[in-house]
Amino acid sequence: MAKTAQDSLIRKLARVEVAASAPAEAAATYQKNFGFQIRQAENGDGIVEVGEVEIRLVPAGAQREGLIALQFETEQLDNLTAALSRAGIEAARITTADGARAIEVPPRVTGNVPVIVIQRQR
């Protein structure tokens, strides 16, 4: 039986991280062509707001341009970590920073895309 959105341990897609050679210019393109709101992060990254999801454009540097990470949000990080473990997937240990707990799911099980799952502390 397929899981429904209510059964999912993931609450929402929170952020997509994309490497770009010129993050500010890329963000401006999203604004001009799609009408999205943009802002600049304190560190200079371009941020495009698409509803509740954020596309964070970061300098490509030595890495290739394109998708570099997906960030999901959950309210049940411990349950998700346990479910992954039962499935034979050992996520990186839980870390805490900036008012959130997070795990990293190994890219080898996510189509080679780094996946980070966070639980915001309330």
Express each pLDDT in 44-96 by its tens digit.
788 999 999 999 999 998 778 999 999 999 999 999 999 999 989 988 788 89
**Structural domain includes residue 41:** yes
Shared-domain flag, residues 93 and 59: no
**Structural domain includes residue 4:** no
72 neighbors 120 (Cβ within 8 angstroms): no
**Which single residue is written with the structure tokens 């490497």?**
19
- Domain total for the chain? 2
pTM assigned to the model: 0.79
**Structural domain includes residue 1:** no
Q: Which amino acid is at 26?
A: A
Shared-domain flag, residues 50 and 92: no
- Of residues 3 and 43, more confidence is placed in 43
**Structural domain includes residue 20:** yes
Half-sphere exposure (Cβ direction) of 26: Cα atoms closer than 13 Å: 20
Shared-domain flag, residues 81 and 56: no
**Structural domain includes residue 113:** yes
Query: Residue 36 sits in which domain range?
Result: 10-72
